[in-house]
Amino acid sequence: MTRYALVSLAALAFAGAAGAQSPDLTGKWSGYWASDKNGHTGPLNATFVPQGDSSYRVTYRGRFAKVIPFRYSTTMDVVGTGDGVVLLSAEKRLGPMGTFRTTATATGSNFDATFTSRRDSGRFVLSRR
């Protein structure tokens, strides 16, 4: 687990004690993705659809190398909530690319995620449209 995820978990544990409500992430988001391994970056849009109280179906759409479109859907599980913050996690096997893991911290207006796979790691940074 990354230092960022540990800090987020500690913040959520403290905030959860106060009994505050977590944000609803339903809707459209936009921003960018960035690779830590090779420096590539590009635009990213996402649509969050709730799947009960404990997960969201998230569809990401973006571009790689400025012109190559991609689309990726996953179920992100809510693994913690707190004072206006929700912590999410997802894991999905993507064939030869290996397992793609994502951990995110989100508020009602910002979504900051780290991703890792066999050959890459980086971030998704989104804001509510």
The predicted pLDDT at position 75 comes to 97
Homologous superfamily of 3-128 in CATH? Calycin beta-barrel core domain (2.40.128.20)
The predicted pLDDT at position 67 comes to 87
Instruction: Specify whether the CB–CB gap between 109 and 28 falls below 8 A.
Output: no
CA distance 124 to 33: 4
Instruction: Specify whether the CB–CB gap between 28 and 47 falls below 8 A.
Output: yes
The predicted pLDDT at position 71 comes to 94
CA distance 125 to 39: 15
Instruction: Specify whether the CB–CB gap between 63 and 43 falls below 8 A.
Output: yes
The predicted pLDDT at position 17 comes to 41
The predicted pLDDT at position 14 comes to 43
Q: What is the mean pLDDT of each run of 10 residues along the chain (129 residues)?
A: 46 46 94 93 97 95 90 95 95 85 97 93 95
**Per-residue DSSP letters for 48-82?**
EEE-SSSEEEEEEEEEETTTEEEEEEEEEEEEEEE
